[in-house]
């Protein structure tokens, strides 16, 4: 947990351009946070929980991710 806090405090590489819509669907935001955590070398599930996604949302995201691959 301590190493997570250290890494997380450095920030995630989440980039949204000025034209990005103000409402982002949950599945899209899950994908953005997942990719940013992966690129930062952080545990994705811990990061998604930190962003307060529900366990159901996280499970659904990973199930959909598996189906796409």
Q: Give pLDDT tens digits for 48-64.
A: 998 899 999 999 999 99
Range of the domain at 65: 23-69
Per-residue model confidence (pLDDT) at position 30: 93
Residue 5: inside a domain: no
Residue whose tokens read 């930190």: 50
State how far the Cα of 47 lies from the Cα of 37, in Å rounded to an integer.
Answer: 7
In terms of DSSP H, where are the helices of the chain? 2-9, 26-39, 44-50, 55-68
Tell me: pLDDT of 2 over 70: no
Question: Is 12 a member of any domain?
Answer: no
pLDDT average, residue stretch 7-32 = 74
- What would the pLDDT profile of 3-16 be if each residue is shown by its tens digit? 655 555 566 666 66
Residue 40 to residue 34: CA distance in whole angstroms: 10
- How many domains does the chain contain in total? 1
């Amino acid at each position: 947990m301590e190493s997570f806090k250290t890494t997380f405090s450095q920030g995630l590489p989440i980039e949204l351009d000025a034209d990005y819509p103000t409402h982002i669907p949950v599945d899209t935001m899950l994908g953005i946070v997942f990719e940013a955590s992966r690129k930062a070398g952080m545990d994705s599930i811990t990061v998604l929980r930190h962003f307060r996604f529900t366990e159901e949302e996280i499970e659904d995201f990973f199930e959909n991710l598996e189906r796409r691959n």
